[in-house]
Amino acid sequence: MRIHKLFLALAILLLAPIAQADLARAQNLFEQGRANESLEEVERLLSQSPQDAELRFLQGIIFADLGRSQKAIEVFAGLTHDYPELPEPYNNLAVLFAEQGEFEKARDSLMAAIQTHPSYSTAHENLGDLYAKMAGIAYDRALEEDRANQSARLKLSAVNGLFSAPRTFSAPAVTQVAQNIPEQAPVVESTPEPAVSEPEIVASEPVPVPVTIPAVAQTQPEPVIVEPEPEVKVAVVTPQPEPEPEPAPVSSADDDIRDTIRAWASAWAGKDVDGYIGAYAPNFRPANGATRANWVAYRRDRLSNPSFIQVDVGDIDVEVLGETRARATFVQGYRSDTYQDQVIKTLNMSRTNAGWQITSEVSEAI
């Protein structure tokens, strides 16, 4: 899989005639290969309409085309902040992160795109290609360490075969903004380069395998000896089920949620897998569509492998949405011996008999 140039198809149906003509002119300049002139026109228009989503998206596309990746990342990151319901900026961030070899950030951006639009096929395909890249890198490293490793050689060959046919790691079209509610626009894909004999970049983290965890047998109550009457009798006392705890009052929700999030981060940093998994509600479903069993197996592996993990949680902004629902947002810093990043984390939470638990999560690159 290669990362190809980003392309753009603008939806301009709702723009005023003058703005429509100006935006069309900037688009035409870009399509004619006159990227610098197109950028000058876009920046002139942005000085008049600095929040225009179409103009900002085109600006990001041009920066990427000119090789100014950091500027493109800043533009698309700003769009994810202002229009978090749009999947396209997340997808384009993933393209740029993958170009820089920041595969973890690319994966998180694609998962955010999928969470906003689960049916967005471009992000699903790109996520598969990204995983294929990462897997290929791992197989290639295995061969460097042991050239006689036939298993790794076969797997590497299979991964290379995925990209022997024309494939793309495409970026989507910019979306139309109507009454501040953007709609998804069609995808224009780029033409891939042919595959080479040795993989240029190869596949993803291995797909997690479901792990079956045996249930813990419950201890039966021990018999209690009753004082004998005429003869000794043994009575078995059946324990009465404890009443389910009443949900905590809503007035304390803010503090309870903050305490829950800090406990979740502490379990993560302490590699306490059970404590970490227990912070997620039974109805939690991963953003990438994986089963809960696969997600649990994957997270166990991710928490167990590093020699150390540090998780920092900034000020937690809590928005109580009702008696049993809330949303929390904070800056999360992660560092281990193999990786580090900083993201804006949003947790949607539900109040259950077990306390506040996570029902979904989204990470946005900073």
Bigger pLDDT: 177 vs 69: 69
pLDDT in tens, 162-199: 655 443 433 333 333 333 334 444 444 444 444 434 43
Separation of alpha carbons 366 and 362, rounded Å: 13
pLDDT for 185: 41
Closest of 74, 65, 80 to residue 35, by C-alpha: 65
DSSP code at position 288: T
In what helix (H) or strand (E) does residue 26 lie, and over which residues does it extend? helix 17-31
The alpha carbon dihedral of 172, 176, 182, 185 has a sign of negative
What is the value of pTM for the model shown? 0.43
Q: Is 304's pLDDT higher than 70?
A: yes
Give yes or no for residue 232 having a pLDDT over 50: no
Query: Distance of alpha carbon 285 from its chain centroid, rounded?
Result: 12
Q: Which of 96-110, 201-215, 310-324 has the lowest mean pLDDT?
A: 201-215
pLDDT digits (tens, 9 = 90+) for 246-280: 554 444 789 999 999 999 999 999 999 999 999 99
- Greater model confidence, 287 or 256: 256
**pLDDT at 178 (0 to 100):** 32
**How far apart, in whole angstroms, are the C-alpha atoms of residue 4 and residue 236?**
73
Identify the weakest region by mean pLDDT among 48-57, 98-107, 235-244.
235-244
Half-sphere exposure of 348 (CA within 13 A, CB side): 11
Lowest mean pLDDT segment, chosen from 4-13, 256-265, 325-334: 4-13
Sketch out the chain's domains with CATH numbers. Answer: 17-183 (1.25.40.10), 250-365 (3.10.450.50)
The total of other beta-carbon atoms located within 10 Å of residue 358's CB is 17
Please indicate whether residue 226 or residue 318 has the higher confidence score (pLDDT): 318
Q: What is the mean pLDDT of the chain?
A: 75
Query: What is the Cα–Cα distance from 60 to 301, expressed in whole angstroms?
Result: 36
Is it the case that residue 143 has pLDDT exceeding 50? yes
Quick check: 116 pLDDT over 90? no
